Structure 1
Amino acid sequence: MRIILGFAIWVSFLWGSGVARFVVEKNSLKVTSPDSLKDVYECAIGNFGVPQYGGTMVGVVLYPQSNKKACKSFQDFDISFKSKPGGFPTFLLVDRGDCYFTAKAWNAQNAGAAAVLVADDRIEPLITMDTPEEENANADYLQNITIPSALISKTLGDSFKRALSNGDMVSVSLDWRESLPHPDERVEYEFWTNSNDECGPKCESQIEFVKSFKGVAQILEKKGYTQFTPHYITWYCPEAYIHSKQCKSQCINHGRYCAPDPEQDFSRGYDGKDVVMQNLRQVCLYRIANESGKPWLWWDYVTDFSIRCPMKDKKYTKECADKVIHSLGLDLKKIDKCIGDPDADEENPILKAEQDAQIGKNSRGDVTILPTLVINNRQYRGKLDKAAVLKAICAGFEETTEPAVCLSSDIQTNECLENNGGCWQDKAANVTACKDTFRGRICECPVVQGLKFVGDGYTHCEASGLGRCQINNGGCWKKTHDGRTYSACVDGASKGCKCPPGFRGDGVKSCEDINECKEKLACQCPDCTCKNTWGSYECSCSGDLLYIREHDTCISKKATTEVSWSFMWFVLLGLAAAGVAGYGLYKYRIRRYMDSEIRAIMAQYMPLDNQGEAANRVHHPDI
């Protein structure tokens, strides 16, 4: 599936040293039987087939009696490893050597094996099983390998063979759940690709992947689930060859950035520098699209360019590329400015950044082959296939944060469908603690309509908070009888169930009516008669007596009536007397006030009788 770009003259161009750091990606192999081999071992993921990222696969190991290196078709030996219905899948153990790893996997798959385990033939650290480096007539089968593969150590392989020869059943589980980091709710992934479309089946598989994966990639990017970045590998020409015909036709910026000739023929077709320029244009397009908030347009451009501007139609040109860019509504001037001058004797900052990114960081190895997919800084191993890659990306999400596409039946099995995943559930309220995830399931008390359930998620979950009684009555007892409904759920309480007054019980499964009459909890007065009702009681008095519940006593209805009317007449007469007295007092005080005011006014304008007499005495002293 992958190819090493270029040929002999270009091998030494990478980094300038020709030495790249390659990291072997691993998964776990757990042996469950026989007891003597029970343990967890490391194995190396192959660069082909479909690893079950985020999942596991259980099977039994078989070692063929013939064709032990699986370099020939097992049909020639009339051997089948297809498991019977209901049986465990077969993991075929084969020996390393004599043919390509991919040929072993292809022959094992055609014989019905569910996975292939290749036992190393030497004591050494695990390596990554890769695809053939040279193209051959049978290269097409590489794209059809769908079973997972793993390289195991010689020591483990020998142990398996001894156990099988002794008649033991070797049961193992391949586990890819921790093969990719899954730290948070967003997956970051890179796709190292190439714009060259004339390298045969390998180039065709790249563009077919882009076309098929485009829709999913754009949805994930638009909704913020992923952060995607495309990358392109370039080489540089050794200084001694900068002025050679080969470097001038394959490189830009005076030999700093090069690509192999598409046809590997310098005399015809397009040159390597044409590929470098188109790669640079695609990087710049991504950057400008990302600045405009639409990084997903890269997928549209690469797809449209491959259709509208193929090399075979002599349309692999800037003019054709500009038409595609214009159709997508991107700023062509900004893209041209980003590309810069390919003839300048100086570094291009964009391509320099691409070369720096090729060097592995932390757990990732250097990118040396195309195509390469890097997910959460780990190199993806396996077939470049839409479903396989999507599984790998889904494995990069923190559990319970994966998007809905990762939980579809085409991608994973919903463990909650069988026995509710072993989690708590309330069938009546259609509430469950089982939450399906890409890796399996978790038992976690849910939040329903804004109401949180609390508990361990396995044996019980209980609604908590205001409004909890609205959902299945908060998990409490509730019953209606004789037109009355009682509930043990108190909406104001955060949690818990308590039987209402008149009942006793656990409040969850049952509340039983209390017979207040039989237990002498009510109607204790001498003249009282008690009758029990559901959830309450009724007290009555004999004869013409009236029961007063607050005081648990009986009083005469007649006496009560007489006292009441006498009291009412007394109140009415009292009110009438108070009214008359008030009115008289009011009249008296008004009259006095009016008299005093009138006398004061009159005194200003006419003398009173005693005043006249006083005056006469002054003027007639002899009288």
Structure 2
Amino acid sequence: MKEKLGFLVGVWFLLCGVCVGRFVVEKNSLKVTSPSSLKSVYECAIGNFGVPQYGGTLVGTVYYPKANQKACKGFDDFDVSFKSKPGGLPTFLLVDRGDCFFTLKAWNAQKGGAAAILVADNRNEPLITMDTPEEENADADYLQKITIPSALISKSLGDSIKKSLSSGEMVNINLDWTEALPHPDERVEYEFWTNSNDECGPKCDSQIEFVKNFKGAAQVLERKGYTQFTPHYITWYCPEAFVLSKQCKSQCINHGRYCAPDPEQDFSKGYDGKDVVVQNLRQACFYKVANESGKPWLWWDYVTDFAIRCPMKEKKYNEECANQVIESLGADLKKIQKCIGDPEADEENAILKAEQDAQIGKGSRGDVTILPTLVINSRQYRGKLDKGAVLKAICAGFQETTEPAVCLSEDIETNECLENNGGCWQDKSANITACRDTFRGRVCECPTVQGVKFVGDGYTRCEASGALRCEINNGGCWRKTQNGRTYSACRDDHTNGCKCPPGFKGDGEKTCEDVDECKEKVNCQCAQCKCKNTWGSYECSCGGGLLYMREHDACISKNASVSEFNWGFMWVIILCLGAVGVGGYAVYKYRIRRYMDSEIRAIMAQYMPLDNQGEIPNHVPRGDI
């Protein structure tokens, strides 16, 4: 008994390292839609069990039982059922706080058919987080079977709802988790605060089971860059005055700096708390080395394999077994061992020191004091540690329209575009819609199809825009094929408009009617012309063997035009060639004659002076006079 008491005192001192921290109560929105006297939006605290509908909403009507108002007993004993009838709203069971665990109230409400449970506080105080019980025997099987969401409401709101119900008024409530988690961008960052201990009862069992089940989804999300995951481990320090005590020596490493409770809560048998701390450190170092090698998702394989191959129950929870798992996964064992360091050294360990610093909350996250704890986008997750529930919460952390395909599967959310196209614009003929399904619901957003951007409000109108707009459903314009001819009203230019082509008239979008050029006297107006209307055009002919010239809207003789044209053209060519030949010959004769005359005169000048050439004086050298 004394040893047990000493253990409890030791744990208390270990917890003092964080007991002055700030625990954040995670909340969601509760909107009362009727009666009018209660219409407003209130805060409620999310329970740390069940499955909150992260990213979604749940509408129901409130029921307050006449008996078993604290829901500490099953409602079968009172012959009461809260299952909603076909066409009716789901039932939110309102119960009072006290006399039994929150989880038992939720379980009894769920068995009775309630869709959610609202627990009214029994005192005027700030909202708290309803947690699972820390039972010593921890044998309550129902803890992992609770699936309905739960919320703690203030005493004043609970009293107001009860008053309205007693007056015969229906109270309708909308539980809204759409903003319970931040969703700023296309990547979700989440942390998992866990423990390598497998001897802590149902909580450890459910934690190990969760890691096994969630491993596949976690690794896919991490490999494709949708998420950034980081594992963490809670440790406490031993107060300096107790460093040399039996409790601290058995529960701590590095001279009391990093501690964990005894797994069996008995110092005389089994593994010690320091064994847990070392294994936690090994898992943290495995993640560090795997992350540095670009494969952080291997952490899930290591933790899963270690839990299977090295359990405490089989006395394999040791370094040798852990190293075998590490080597089987191809991780660098030497780097991991260097990261672990010497647990007996009186010095700080960089990894565990960083873990202790990370326990202290920053911003909206709050301190991490509960194991296990999941933190998504710096907000602590509340609810059952279940693959489907956690995946739904992670999906709620993505910005709308950026969710991976797994978030839009039937198992995770309801596709609102399947019913009435979500109330958005659509073109059934081209199978184009503005409805885009997201995790939080649908958005009406004009799409981009085959590189063509549609523009509009997304609800009543979406029109193709850009250079290729006519390639998609003809740009939403009129188009028709008849008699082997196709005409379109789509204008593939900067105007992005619909205009009937020449030969048609209409709005260009729905109708373009053929213009009868013959009746409108637009063309074919010459005296000999005969007009015949065709679809989209006209045909004009001439009687008496005449040929119709469309450019001049005139009829001319077929023979005359050809004969006159050919001979006239030929005479012009002949005359031109003759003139060029005569001119060329004259120039040629003139230049030959001039050349011959100049040659002859040069030769004769060498032998006798010519009549027009005077005496050529003798050349006298010039000197100075």
| TM category, shorter | over 0.9
Mean CA deviation greater in 62-71 or 14-23: 14-23
Q: Which moved more, 1:332-341 or 1:52-61?
A: 332-341
> Deviation per CA, 1:568-608, whole angstroms, max 9, x where unpaired?
231232244146436635864786699689979xx8xxxx6
Offset of residue 336 of structure 1: 1.2
2:219 is matched with which residue? 218
Aligned partner letter, 2:262: D
Matches within 5 A, 1:33-432: 33-136=34-137, 138-432=139-433
Contact 1:221 1:228 in 2 (8 A): yes
Distance 2:382 2:434 in 1: 35
Structure 1 position 379, deviation (Å): 0.6
AA in 2 matched with 1:68: Q
| CA offset digits 1:246-299 (Å, max 9, x no partner) | 111111111111111111111111111111000011111111111111111111
Q: Which AA in structure 1 matches 2:203?
A: K
**Greater CA drift, 357-366 or 433-442:** 357-366
Segment drifting more, 338-347 vs 68-77 = 338-347
Q: Deviations over 1:300-341 (max 9, x none)?
A: 110111111111121111111111111111111111111112
Using the alignment, how far apart are the partners of 1:264 and 1:589 within structure 2? 134
Give the secondary structure class of the aligned counterpart of 2:15. coil
- Per-residue deviation, residues 202-231 of structure 1 (Å, max 9, x unmatched): 111111100100111011111111110100
Q: Structure 1 CA distance, aligned partners of 2:136 and 2:590? A: 128
Q: Distance in 2 between matches of 1:71 and 1:585?
A: 133
d(CA) in 1 for partners of 2:599, 2:145: 126
2: CA distance, partners of 1:278 / 1:565: 106
Look up the equivalent residue of 1:299 and give its one-letter code. W
Q: Give, in whole Å, the separation in 1 of the partners of 2:195 and 2:32.
A: 41
Aligned to 2:620: none
Which residue does the alignment assign to 1:3? none
Measured after TM superposition, the shift of residue 494 of structure 1 is 5.3
Report the secondary structure of 1:442's partner residue: strand
Query: What code does the residue aligned with 1:504 have?
Result: K
Q: C-alpha offsets along residues 495-529 of structure 1, whole Å, 9 cap, x if unaligned?
A: 12111111111111011112222222222333333
TM-score (norm. length: structure 1): 0.93
Quote the offset at 1:12 in angstroms.
Answer: 2.5
Matched residue, 1:520 = 521
Alpha-carbon distance between aligned partners in 1 of 2:18 and 2:319, rounded to the nearest angstrom: 33
SS of residue matched to 2:455: strand
Q: In structure 2, what residue type is equivalent to 1:515? A: D
Q: TM-score, normalised by structure 2?
A: 0.92
CA contact (8 A) 1:12 1:18 kept: no
Pair 13,576 (structure 1): closer, same or farther in 2 beyond 3 Å: same
Of residues 102-111 and 527-536 in structure 1, the stretch that sits farther from structure 2 once superposed is: 527-536
- Please give the secondary structure, in 2, of the residue aligned with 1:12: helix
Whether the 8 Å CA contact 2:10–2:247 is kept in 1: the answer is: no
SS of the equivalent of 1:13 reads helix
Q: Report 1:453-532 matches (<5 A).
A: 453-493=454-494, 495-532=496-533
| Matches of 2:207 and 2:495, distance apart in 1 | 57
Structure 1 residues 380 and 579: CA distance shift in structure 2, 3 A:
same
Tell me the SS of whatever aligns to 2:151.
Answer: strand
Is the contact between residue 467 and residue 493 of structure 2 (CA under 8 Å) also seen in structure 1? yes
Provide the rounded CA distance (Å) in 2 between the counterparts of 1:381 and 1:470. Answer: 50
The offset of 1:29, in angstroms, is: 1.2
1:7 touches 1:260 (CA, 8 Å); kept in 2? Answer: no
CA contact (8 A) 1:466 1:494 kept: no
What amino acid is the match of 2:240?
Answer: E
- Which stretch of the first structure deviates more once superposed, 101-110 or 163-172? 163-172
| Contact 1:467–1:491, Cα closer than 8 Å, also in 2 | yes
Shift of residue 610, structure 1, vs aligned partner:
7.6
Q: Distance in 2 between matches of 1:353 and 1:98?
A: 41
Moved more, 503-512 or 45-54: 503-512
Question: Does structure 2 retain, via aligned residues, the 8 Å contact 1:465–1:494?
Answer: no
Cα distance, 1:527–1:347 mapped onto 2, change above 3 Å: same
CA distance in 2, matches of 1:312, 1:599: 136
Residue identity matched to 1:151: L
Separation in 1, partners of 2:327, 2:599: 106
Secondary structure of 1:550's aligned partner: coil
What secondary structure is seen at the aligned counterpart in 2 of 1:518? coil
Decide whether the 8 Å contact of 2:118 with 2:152 is kept in 1. yes
Corresponding position of 1:536: 537
Residues 359-378 of structure 1: per-residue CA shift (max 9 Å, x gap): 11111121111000011111
Question: 1 CA distance for matches of 2:391 and 2:594?
Answer: 103
Q: In 2 relative to 1, CA 432–596 (structure 1 residues): closer, same or farther, beyond 3 Å?
A: farther
Q: CA deviation at 1:21?
A: 1.3
Runs of 4+ in 1 over 6 A off after TM superposition: 596-600
Deviates more, 1:483-492 or 1:445-454: 483-492
Aligned-partner Cα distance in 1 for 2:204–2:390: 17
User: Aligned equivalents of 2:448 and 2:597: distance in 1?
Assistant: 84
Distance 1:137 1:229, change over 3 A: closer
Describe how 1:561-572 pairs up with structure 2 within 5 A.
561-572=562-573
Q: Note the residue ranges of structure 1 that are not aligned, 5 or more in a row.
A: 1-5, 619-623
Distance 2:597 2:412 in 1: 107
2: distance between equivalents of 1:370 and 1:341?
Answer: 26
Secondary structure in 1 matching 2:14: coil
275 and 609 in structure 1: CA distance in 2 versus 1, 3 angstrom threshold: closer
Higher mean alpha-carbon deviation, 218-227 vs 312-321, is at 312-321
Kindly indicate whether the alpha-carbon contact (under 8 Å) linking 1:415 and 1:421 is maintained by their aligned counterparts in 2.
yes
Task: For 2:375, give the aligned amino acid.
Answer: V
RMSD: 2.2
Render the CA deviation track for 1:156-179: whole Å, top value 9, x for unaligned: 112221222222221111100000
Contact 2:10/2:248 (<8 A) preserved:
no
Please report how far the alpha carbon of residue 397 of structure 1 lies from its aligned counterpart in structure 2 after TM superposition.
Answer: 0.6
